[in-house]
Amino acid sequence: MNNKSIWALFSLFALAALALTSCAQPTPETIIETVVVTEVVEIEGETIIETQIVETTKEVEVPVEKQVLIYNSYMSDPDPRAADAEVVTMFSEANPDIEVLHSTVAHEDFKQAIRAYLTASTPPDVLTWFAGNRARFFIDNDQLMDISDLWASEGWNESYPKGFQAMSTVDGNQYFLPTSWYWWAVYYRISIFEELGLEEPTTWEEFIAVNEALKEAGYTPIAIGTKYRWTAAAWFDYLNMRINGPEFHVDLMLCKESYDDPRVAQVFEVWRELLDSGYFIDDAAAYSWSEALEPFIRGDAAMYLMGDFIRDSLPDEIEEDLGFFRFPIIDPNVPIGEDAPTDGFFIAANSQNVEAAKRFMAYLGSVEYQTYFAETLNRLPTNFDVDKSIFTESQQEGLELIEGADFVAQFYDRDTTPEMADEGMNAFMAFWDDPDSIDGLLADLEAARLEICAPE
């Protein structure tokens, strides 16, 4: 399977390359030709040379090399997909000399295929990706193109806040273009909270009380689908930041703290209380995150810890019934950390159409694009020249949530190394299934950390 897949991929790329070379077709163009017509007329024995300038319009086949731009996107959820396609249309209309070959790949598959994309001889020119460690890994491996010139010429060094500049910059050069970000929070169904007379909890005690009340009333307090594991990582992120503070969390992500630290064990103790009390939905492992939305939409489950992209998958009438609150504070003495992942784009280092790619990137970083994205998908823009008055109420609220935080993290699998994220998320799953095994799991995680993060 392994070897076959690689070769199958290669052959696909070979085919794609073949298809591309045949794309530059001559297009019929209307041109205006100026023809000087010289007539020699003989009038009464005299020879007069008459010169006339005649303009003729004719259709000629002029071979115009349309630049081809390959754009691979992971925006496969319905709403982002539509918006993404619209963006490509808008760009193509404004740039008729560029033909955008746009393909959308389901995001779990995209994450798996990206290395094959990047190492192909004709990689996609522009790709969607995540800021943070996931981008850093490719930058360190020279797979991302240096776009410092674009940052300078587009004025992004002024219009983007420092934080976004920093996450795009390695050794003084910019490689990444963050375009949108969103916040994480506990989302809930307003109608259920109203029915039971519940308030948005701010402290852990209140949160537990809300869970208890929901359970009592026959609701599933918390929906979650852990088939793809990362949803559980959000719980780890928040519990760790609320119990041990963002500084410890970041150090743990950077492998500077150990997983057999008693502080980590404490996180799982609190987590376990939630599990043992039966606050989470049954059989979480059977669902993907969006499949677990079903009970939330039906009104059987009341809360869901999720990023704001939860909106993309909700029907409109549910969206009106959707509220969110900051993940409750466990220890008031600890600074507040929030997850606010940033998404964006980059140009592959081996891009064959750099000029077209840069023009597309310039568009993606522009106020026009970011305004469109902020309006249609409720994401928050990274370009601060975007008019803030277009923000909806929830966007304002989300912005406040993040502005009120002392520290902003990306997300578990974006903050730590890919290998460690994988080990960690496996351990979360094993813990979820059998909380008693936590001591062994943490010992294994620590062994993995020492191996993965060992100085080379």
Partner 1 sequence: MVRVRKNLIPYMFLIIPLIIYLVWVIGPMFYTFYLSLTDWDGLTTPTFIGLQNYQKLFEDKVFYISLFNNLKWLVSFITIPVVLGLALAMVLNRAIPGEKFFKMSFFMPMVLAMVVSGLIWGWMFHPAGGLINNFLVATGIMEKGPGWLSDRDLVLWSIILVATWRQVGYVMVLYLAGLKSINPQLLDAATVDGATGWQTFWRIILPLLMPVTVIVIVISVIDSLRAFDLVSVMTRGGPANASSVLANFMYIESFNNYKMGYGASIAVILFFLSLIFIFIYLWRVMKDELEY
Q: Which residue ranges make up the site for partner 1 (CB under 8 A)?
A: 1-7, 111-113, 115-116, 118-119, 138, 141, 143, 226-229, 282-286, 294-295, 418-419, 422, 426, 429-430, 432-434
* Contacts made by residues 202-205, CB under 8 angstroms, sequence distance 24+: 202/325, 202/326, 202/328, 202/329, 203/328, 203/329, 203/330, 203/332, 204/242, 204/328, 204/329, 204/330
Nearer to partner 1, 56 or 121 (CB): 121
Q: Please, what is the minimum distance in Å from the beta carbon of residue 421 to partner 1?
A: 10
Q: Please, what is the minimum distance in Å from the beta carbon of residue 427 to partner 1?
A: 9
CA angle 109, 112, 114 (to 5 degrees): 105
Distance (Å, whole) CA 296 – CA 103: 31
Distance (Å, whole) CA 158 – CA 151: 9
Q: Which amino acid type is present at position 278?
A: G
Q: Please, what is the minimum distance in Å from the beta carbon of residue 206 to partner 1?
A: 28
Nearer to partner 1, 331 or 451 (CB): 451
Nearer to partner 1, 172 or 218 (CB): 218
Nearer to partner 1, 169 or 350 (CB): 350
* Contacts made by residues 263-272, CB under 8 angstroms, sequence distance 24+: 264/240, 264/442, 265/438, 265/439, 265/442, 267/236, 267/239, 267/240, 267/243, 268/431, 268/435, 268/438, 268/442, 270/239, 270/243, 270/330, 271/235, 271/236, 271/239, 271/431, 272/435, 272/438
Q: Please, what is the minimum distance in Å from the beta carbon of residue 394 to partner 1?
A: 29
Nearer to partner 1, 181 or 287 (CB): 287
Q: Please, what is the minimum distance in Å from the beta carbon of residue 56 to partner 1?
A: 56
Distance (Å, whole) CA 318 – CA 30: 53
Q: Please, what is the minimum distance in Å from the beta carbon of residue 95 to partner 1?
A: 31
Nearer to partner 1, 16 or 452 (CB): 452
